[in-house]
Amino acid sequence: MTATGPGDREAQVRAEVLARALPYLRRYAGDTVVVKYGGSAMVDTTLSTAFGHDIALLKQVGVNPVVVHGGGPQISAMLKRLQIESTFIDGLRVTDAAMIDVIEMVLAGKVNKQVAGLINRAGALAVGISGLDGGLITARRLLRRARENGVETDRMLDLGFVGEPARIDPRVIYALSGSGLIPVIAPIGAGEQGETYNINADTAAGAIAGAVNASRLLMLTDVPGVLDGDGRLIPELTAEDARRGIASGMISGGMIPKVETCLEAVRAGARAAVILDGRVQHSCLLELFTEAGPGTLIRGA
């Protein structure tokens, strides 16, 4: 019998990992996966480097990743640097003409190219674009009702150039993905009159995932996922389960818009959406290629 050393055992472990991942690699081959990138995964160097390698690996094994990124902290830092004061109504930032110019510069410029660079350095070919390119995102002004004592009123808020997707034209995504490239998208859209709107990255990612019939929408967050009343992670929910959770108050606070984004993505054509703990290294690979990833999966049925 041939003796085995530490190196042989390590090689065997790696082979076992690959063997277990093979059915999942086959499952997602040729599929589109939309990843919303933000939070700790975006600002922590170790996590951001791992993210770049994960997205590159997905492309190399036959998956078509599409990345939609945020950039709130970077926008706030630039506004402060330029001495542009932010005004908030009911916790929402009002975006005027001067501010939208800065937001476009930061999101579609510096941040967009930094995210694409992470993937390029990992060995894949990523191209940074925004929702303005190729008519990708047509936007409309976001309308919100004012709240008093936590209750919605009939008074509508004017948030300026804050928008939401009205229509997604995915042809530029298909063109890039079909050419072996990875689209990295800044969440900015154009109104019917050519005006520019800033769009929440979660909302943009959900709309894009629905439009391209993504097999998965992966939303990287700074929370473990949806928790039950005892604080335990819920690995999977149907759309109906999620709606009941919101109605009952089990799903509350900042988790509500994330779950609603997942529900809208699934309703619009995505196969499933996952609220994923982006603080876990390689969370995207764990979700796609293992039995149970670090998050909550929401299905349409």
* Angular region, 150: left φ>0, alpha ψ -120 to 50, beta rest: left
Please give the annotated binding residues for substrate, written as ranges. Answer: 71-72, 93, 198
Distance (Å, whole) CA 49 – CA 45: 6
Distance separating alpha carbons of residues 69 and 57, to the nearest angstrom: 18
Instruction: Report which of 50, 33, 32 is spatially closest to residue 41, judged by C-alpha positions.
Output: 50
Q: Which two tokens stand for residue 22?
A: 């093979």
Helix (H, G, I), strand (E, B) or coil at 23: helix
> Measured on CA atoms in the order 43, 45, 48, 52, is the torsion positive or negative?
positive
Please, how many CA atoms are within 13 Å of residue 198, restricted to the half-sphere of its CB? 24
Closest listed residue to residue 165, CA positions, set 148, 187, 185: 187
In 187-290, beta strands by DSSP E: 188-190, 196-199, 216-221, 236-238, 272-277
Annotated binding site: 71-72, 93, 198
DSSP annotation of 233 reads: B
N- to C-terminal Cα separation, the chain: 53
Q: Which residues have C-beta within 8 Å of that of residue 131, sequence separation ≥ 6?
A: 137, 139, 165, 185, 186, 187, 188, 189, 190, 199, 204
